[in-house]
Structure 1
Amino acid sequence: MKSKKILEVCLSPDLGGLELYMSRCANELSKEFEVSCVVSTTSKLKDYITTLEKFEIKRKSSFSIFSSLKLAKIIDDKNIDIVHLHWTKDIPIVVLAKIFSKKKPKIVQTRHMTMTRFKNDFYHKFLYKNIDTIICVTKALEEQIIKFIPNKIRPKTKTLYLGANEVELLNEKEIEAFKGELKVENSFMVGLVGRINEFKGQYLLIEAMKVLKSKNLDIKAYIVGHAMNEEYLDKLKQMLKDYNLEAFIKFVGFTKEPYKFMQACDVILMTSKNETFGLVTIEAMKNQTAVIAANSGGVLEIIDDRETGLLFESGNANDLALKIEELYFNMQLKQTLAKNAKIKVDECFDNNKQFEKLNKLFEMI
């Protein structure tokens, strides 16, 4: 008999690593617990939750009393023991729902975003004293939580890395066919996966490709992900025109099969300014593809420079170009990095191992 009832909550309208991690949590935790899910009526995430009970709430703002009351009713109707939230902007709604509910469930937050300022005002004291546990996706993030939330109201903290799923490796013929669809031909293939917004740093790849094109290197780059901001996407496309790179950089859009894309690439980039963790990084490592990443944020807990990947100076397109060029000319290094990365991700960032730890944590709460 499943012992606890867990409500997974994510009212974000977007579809990226955070949202997809919520659906993975729901599916994995349902093996040990009774799990229901709550998503936004406008969410792209709802299509990924197909086998579990799912509720939809219309979310107008982080302070919607209507949303909180509706969530409280779900909590009481389903007799929920733990509400597990992922999007920081959902905290007020979830806390108010706890207060409005008769059940008064414990609140657990998996925090994916950095914390940069003190939370010692009345508003944050009210929120955080109602949260039982914050699961931090990096050690650096847990240190921030301890630094910025006063001890008297600070929830319990625990570092638990995200994990990457085991993947089925494509054979050479399948990879060639996939490359054919993308018209890669024999070019060195660079990939960048993630939602398209300025924080993710797609513009750095374009600037780096401008440098590499000036050296007449046979490189093509592909950007995977949906645009959060059409204005930013238009700006990137204008850069391609201005630099005459339209034949060398393609926008692929969102894909449900990122593993195929990653395996086809010679290298996957992580160009975010200060990524808290970087799920794409460990997924690329799991797919045995070399990674070049910015030397900031959670990446520093994942990549050992020149052993399991290459690090470039964050925000420096010229340095990024140099690292891509290095792997272009040194296939042996590229293969060694990919091999070492797979060993590390299997040891430290394996999906099954991380969810075993998450299950044990929820058993104790």
Structure 2
Amino acid sequence: MYNESKQIRVAFLCNAASWGGLEMNIARLAQWLAENGHQVVFLCPPQTAVSDFMATHLMPNLYLYPSKSRLKYFDLLTASQIGRILARHQVDSLVIGHSKDIQLGITVQTFFYNKLKLGYLQQMQVGIAKKDWLHRWMYSKLAFWVAPLPSVASVTLARTTVRPEQIRLIPLCADLAKFKDVRRKRAAARAQLGLPPDATLLTIVGRYDAGKGQIFLVEALAQLKQRGIEAEILLVGEETKGEEGTYLPMLKQRIQDLQLLAQVHFRPFMQSIELAYAASDIFVMASLEETFGMVTIEAMASALPVVGSRAGGTVDLLEEEQAGLFFEPQNSQSLGESLLKLLQNRMLCGEKSQKASVLS
């Protein structure tokens, strides 16, 4: 997909209302390619967090909006509009950021711009087998499938009909310079975020969603508290658009039931996310099946030891626990035990912190 010596003409499709890691990653990739002299077209619905970001970071003539439709399959109106945009810019490839939009890309290719190459930028693990006739047909239309890590590619090959020759192993891009040495600003970051100056802070950055596992960290904190270990939690994120009022109220009720209201701090997503890492002591990746985990990379670059679930791409990123410790997915007791090892052993915590910074 990318040849450094040749200018490419590429479009990105991100049909999402939310602003989380997935949307941030595809927006950053488009921004990086545009800044490096490539012709980039970005397609997304208007009046969303994604459109606001791209309006700020891309030239106006490269930032175009398709109409928004509720049709799940064969949305010819939107596809025709996208096809005209791609033809006008003579785009070679369309990179799709959400699997649900692969069918829209196929409709564009089939009816309106048949020389288009379709690709999927995988950021979510394939959770269940998808080998039925519909998925087999959809995946056959893709010229490339970008997986960020070998373990993610292996799961994709096992659970889908994607062929090995379609797979491209390309880690997600990230500018990590701003995360270096942020922990020297710990006191200032805590003051700016209104956090206790001396507490040991365990942090998760991610949307409030059952798959992100915030509730397991809350339960692990309750177990640590029973054992006389003092620590607090920082949760940075927001609810998924269209799913408000589902997971977050349950999470807050669990915090109240465990009498941890004073020990759990909620903060919204922030542009200066390095402040959250600067304020933290240990980063927790509690997701059930994270693919690449950009926040894990950012935490490691911030020299934070990571306690991560033994699942998905986190296994690759921590490199056999060199940058942190594993715990069993969806197991608060296992998470608590791993946290306890770091909290009670300052030397071990320092070693993991140093290695995390090097490996990032």
TM-score normalised over the length of structure 1: 0.88
Partner of 1:27: 31
Q: 1:343 to 1:59 in 2, by over 3 A?
A: farther
What are the superposed Cα offsets for residues 6-54 of structure 1, whole Å, 9 maximum, x if unpaired?
1111112221111111111111222142111001225321122122321
8 Å CA contact retained: 1:263, 1:288: no
Q: Distance in 1 between matches of 2:266 and 2:10?
A: 38
Tell me if the contact between 1:117 and 1:148 (Cα under 8 Å) persists in the aligned partners.
yes
State the distance in 1 between where 2:235 and 2:135 align.
Answer: 38
Q: Does 1:56 align with 2:68?
A: no
**Deviation, structure 1 residue 112:** 1.6
Please state if 1:13 is matched with 2:17. Answer: yes
Distance 1:171 1:206, change over 3 A: closer
Deviates more, 1:55-64 or 1:21-30: 55-64
Structure 1 equivalent of residue 204 of structure 2: 192
The equivalent of 2:258 in structure 1 is 243
Deviation at 1:99, TM superposition (A): 1.4
Identity of aligned residues (%): 23
- Mapped to 1, the partners of 2:154 and 2:263 lie a distance apart of 42
AA matched with 1:17: G
Query: Is 1:41 aligned to 2:46, yes or no?
Result: yes
Matches within 5 A, 1:177-188: 177-180=188-191, 181-188=193-200
How far the C-alpha of 1:83 sits from its partner, in A, is: 0.7
Residue aligned with 1:230, SS: coil
**Does the Cα contact within 8 Å between 1:212 and 1:325 map onto a contact in 2?**
yes
Structure 1 residues 327 and 96 mapped into 2: Cα distance closer, same or farther (>3 Å)? same
SS at match of 1:40: coil
1:156 and 2:160 correspond: no
Quote the offset at 1:183 in angstroms: 2.7
Deviations 1:175-201 (A, max 9, x none): 202212423221111111001100001
- SS state at 2:129 partner: coil
Q: 1:150 to 1:205 in 2, by over 3 A?
A: closer
Structure 1 residue 222, shift from structure 2 partner: 0.8
Preserved CA contact (<8 Å) 2:183 2:279? no
* Contact 1:128–1:154, Cα closer than 8 Å, also in 2: no
Q: Choose which of 330, 334, 340 in structure 2 pairs with 1:315.
A: 330
- Match of 2:26, SS state, is helix
What SS is found at the alignment partner of 1:12? coil
Q: Do 2:28 and 2:173's aligned partners in 1 also have CA atoms closer than 8 Å? A: no
Whether 1:272 and 2:287 are equivalent positions in the alignment is yes
Could you list the runs of 5+ residues in structure 1 that have no partner in the other structure? 346-365
Asked if 1:227 is matched to 2:242, the reply is: no
* TM-score of the pair, normalised by structure 2: 0.89
Q: How many residues align?
A: 343
Output the aligned Cα RMSD: 2.1
- The amino acid of 2:311's aligned partner reads S
Partner of 2:137: 126
